[in-house]
Chain A
Amino acid sequence: MNESLHLETLRLLHFKNYEDASLTCSSQLNAFVGLNGMGKTNLLEAIYYLCMCRSPRAVADRHLPRRGSDFFRLEGLFRRHGRQEAITAKLRPGKKKTFERNGKPYDLLSEHIGLLPVVFIAPEDTQLITGGSEERRRLLDNTLSQLHAEYLQQLITYNKVLDQRNRLLKQFAEQQSFDAGLLDAYDRQLWGPADYLYRERERFLADCNPLPIARACRIPRTQVPFQVRYRSPLQERSMADCLRENRDKDRLLARTTAGIHKDDLDLLLDDSPVKRYASQGQTKSLALGLKLAQYRMLQQGKNTPPILLLDDLFDKLDTERVGSLLALLREQAFGQVFLTDTDEARVLDLLHSMGAAHRTFRIQDGTASPIVMA
Chain B
Amino acid sequence: MNFSSKLIEQAVEAFAGLPGIGRKTALRLVLHLIQQEEEVSLHFAETIAGMRKGIRYCSTCFNLSDEAQCAICRDPRRDPSAVCVVESIRDVMAIEDTGQYRGVYHVLGGVISPIEGIGPEQLQIDSLVQRVREGVVQEVILAISPTIEGDTTMFYLSRQLQELPVRISTIARGVSFGGELEYADEFTLGRSIVARIPYKLQDE
Write the residues of chain A forming the contact surface with B, with a CB cutoff of 8 angstroms: 107-108, 111, 149-150, 153, 157, 160-161, 163-164, 167-168, 170-171, 179, 181-182, 184-186, 188-189
Report if B113 contacts A (CB, 8 A).
yes
- Give the dominant DSSP class at A's interface: helix
Q: Which residues of chain A are near B190, meaning CB under 8 Å?
A: 150
Kindly state the separation between the CA atoms of A107 and B186 in the bound complex, as whole angstroms.
12
From B113, B159, B160, B186, give the contact of A164 (CB < 8 A).
Answer: B113
Kindly state the separation between the CA atoms of A171 and B112 in the bound complex, as whole angstroms.
13
Kindly state the separation between the CA atoms of A189 and B156 in the bound complex, as whole angstroms.
11
Q: Which residues of chain B are near A184, meaning CB under 8 Å?
A: 155, 159
The smallest C-beta distance from A250 to any residue of chain B, in angstroms, reads: 14
Write the residues of chain B forming the contact surface with A, with a CB cutoff of 8 angstroms: 112-115, 119-120, 148-149, 151-153, 155-156, 159-160, 185-187, 190
- Give the dominant DSSP class at B's interface: helix
Known: A181-B156, A184-B159, A188-B155. A157 touches B148 (CB 8 A): yes
Known: A181-B156, A181-B160, A189-B155. A111 touches B185 (CB 8 A): yes
Complex A-B, nearest 5 residue pairs according to Cβ-Cβ distance, in ascending order: A167-B114, A185-B155, A168-B114, A185-B156, A185-B152
Known: A153-B187, A181-B159, A182-B156. A189 touches B119 (CB 8 A): no
Contact between chains at B156 and A164 (CB < 8 Å): no
The smallest C-beta distance from A7 to any residue of chain B, in angstroms, reads: 25
Contact between chains at A167 and B187 (CB < 8 Å): no
Residue of A nearest to B152 (CB): A185
The smallest C-beta distance from B8 to any residue of chain A, in angstroms, reads: 27
Q: Which residues of chain A are near B112, meaning CB under 8 Å?
A: 182, 185
Q: Which residues of chain A are near B155, meaning CB under 8 Å?
A: 184-185, 188-189
Q: Which residues of chain B are near A167, meaning CB under 8 Å?
A: 114-115
Q: Which residues of chain B are near A185, meaning CB under 8 Å?
A: 112, 152-153, 155-156, 159
Kindly state the separation between the CA atoms of A170 and B114 in the bound complex, as whole angstroms.
9
Q: Which residues of chain A are near B185, meaning CB under 8 Å?
A: 107-108, 111
